[in-house]
Structures are given as structure tokens and as C-alpha cells.
Amino acid sequence: MKACVYNPNKKDEACLELTNIPMPQASKSSILVKTKGVGVCGSDLLKLDRALVKSGIVLGHELVGEIFEISDELSKKYGFKKGDRIVSSHHVPCLECKFCLNKQESLCSKFKSTNFKPGAFCEYLELSEDHLKYTVQQVPDELNDLDASFTEPLACCIKAIERSGVKNYQGKNAKVLVLGLGSIGLMIGQLVKYYKPEFELNGCDLMNDRLKLAQKLGFDITVDNLQEEYFDFIFLCAGADQSIDLAIKHASNGATLVVFSSVKTDHLAFSNNEIYYKELTVLGSYSPNLNNLKEALELIANRKILVSDLISHKTNLDNLGKTIHQAKQERGIKVFLEN
């Protein structure tokens, strides 16, 4: 079957090479899924840009697929059948370790070791019975593949909102800043408005088209340069080194800073004294918990969170690498692969 694999020599194609690999097989404890659509995640781009994976690896995890093979036993056990359109997260937690029991499933060792076989930048993939039991959800008929592909990334954003404490904040005059208005930042902002419509929602980005899109999606104030303002919650979604100092500078006393991006320079850090004297909370958020996946699909299906406009480039498997490279050159928001 066709797949796009990591090849560091294919610089003009985002280090992706179209090739043929063996087709996975369903078993008594797994199913075969035909890929219908995949969102290209920022973490995929990071792994490609920084050579964080081995040659030949197939990436892609923001999956919309169709069940192609499933045993009668698994079908009866979990209520899925051949032809069902589904979404699924790629990792499965154990639900028993200290991390799972304390709502940090993404730190679970089983979570980190489980994945699709192979990744979703291909025609078919194998999902384990644990995926079927815990992470697979049927897509409503009225929901298109593109929108459904945002289930896992939106779930990540829901987790970040939960960890931030925004939903439980006492008072109506909180100010929220989203630094970086890519797809993650734009979903974070919409979630803030969904949970706390009375909060002032600010967005900062250097690109004018993203500022306009943020306004369309409900941001109260969008700027390309912050003045002398201070915020109670700051979400770092830019992945830029300068966002660290910017967040500290504009954090109000008692503010919460949520790190939702990776920066290029490992030795950069938040100022100890600023954290100490302002009594700041600095925390990270990465992948979702299982309950976040269910809520994400419901919010998208009910159009509480709008995602269609977050795709700037569409492509197919034959042109995935070229399109990702083009999207980088054009500063696009996000690429969607449709099969």
C-alpha cells in the first residue's frame, strides 16, 4: 500500500517520501481501518523538522477512517461494524497507574508505548482492541471528514483548559491571552469563550490573516504587538523562543501560564523571581485524557467549536510532502490529507 515515510533527504517535500509498504492485517485482537482523512499536527512537523524519528517511520495521528475489517467477536463486543466511519486517538492509557488515577493519562507508560500501526499517512492501518475499547468513536453522519479530524487536537485543547483552571476561576473580569493563533491557539480561544463567555479574550500573532480569523471566531481583541497589558491566563501556543519572556512580562499577579508548544532552544526558562514574587503558576499540557476525546467530538458535531476555517491547505497522499512544504512557505495554518 502507499504511505509517506520519513526521509531526511527529501527537504523540498518536508522530509516525506511516497513509497509502498506492506499492508497491515487485522487479527482476533485488532481491526483494519481505511484512512479517509488526516490532519497534519504541529508535532508531526516538529518531528520532521528536527529529525526526531527514524527513517522509514510513518507519522500521522489525527485520523478519520472507515472500518475495513473487524471480526464478528470484536464487532459484537464493542458495537462497531465494517463500514463505520470512526475517529480515534493514537495512544491508550492503562487507567491504573498514578498518572491515570490523577488525570494525567498522557504521562502513563502504556500511553507512551501504544500507537497506530503504522501512522495515518498511509492507506490502511491497524488499531488494537484497546483502541477499539477506549479511543474509537463513531462519527455522526452529518459531520464531514475534515471537521471530524479535529477530534484529537481539540481534545488536547480541552485538557489544557482543564489544567489551566479557567473553568473554575472565581470572578467575571478575567483577561485571557492566547500567544500564537495557529490552529491550536484558535481552538483554545474558542474554548475559553465557550466555557467563560464573560472573560475578555485576547489573541496575539504576527500574521494579519490569523488576527482576522481570530476575530471571526470570537476573540474580543487581536493584536500583533502587546502594549502595557497584564493577563490572568496566558496560553503559549506559538512555539517561539520569545514567547517565554513575553508571557512573563505580561502576566498579572497570580496569573497562570500554560505551555502548549515546544520551543527550539532547550535552555530557555521562565524567570524564577517573577514566578516567586508574582506567585505565578506555570504548567504544561500535552495530550488528552479519554473523557476529553468524547467531549471534543460532541463540541465539533454540535458546532460549538468551529474548525473548518483552520485548514489552509488540502492535499492527497501523492502530494503530502510537497503540500506541507508549500504550506510552510505560505505560512498556512494547517494541512489536511484526504484519501
For residue range 177-222, list pLDDT tens digits in order.
999 999 999 999 999 999 999 999 999 999 999 999 999 999 999 9
Q: Looking at the domain 159-284, which fold is it?
A: Rossmann fold (3.40.50)
C-alpha to C-alpha distance for 32 and 30, rounded to whole angstroms: 7
pLDDT tens string 278-314: 999 999 999 999 999 999 999 999 999 999 999 999 9
CA angle 296, 297, 301 (to 5 degrees): 120
Q: Which of 104-113, 192-201, 218-227, 263-272 has the lowest mean pLDDT?
A: 263-272
Domains in the chain: boundaries: 2-150+307-338, 159-284
User: What was the pLDDT predicted at 266?
Assistant: 81
Q: Which of 4, 138, 91, 2 has its CA nearest to residue 99?
A: 91
Q: Which of 291, 278, 174, 294 has its CA nearest to residue 235?
A: 174
Task: Answer yes or no: is pLDDT of 171 > 90.
Answer: no
* CA–CA distances in Å: residue 222 to residues 118, 304, 314: 40, 21, 27
Percentage of residues of the chain with pLDDT beyond 70: 100
Sheet holding 251-259, edge to edge: 221-223, 200-204, 175-179, 231-236, 251-259, 281-284
Q: Looking at the domain 2-150+307-338, which fold is it?
A: Quinone Oxidoreductase; Chain A, domain 1 (3.90.180)
pLDDT-derived band at 172 (thresholds 50, 70, 90) equals confident
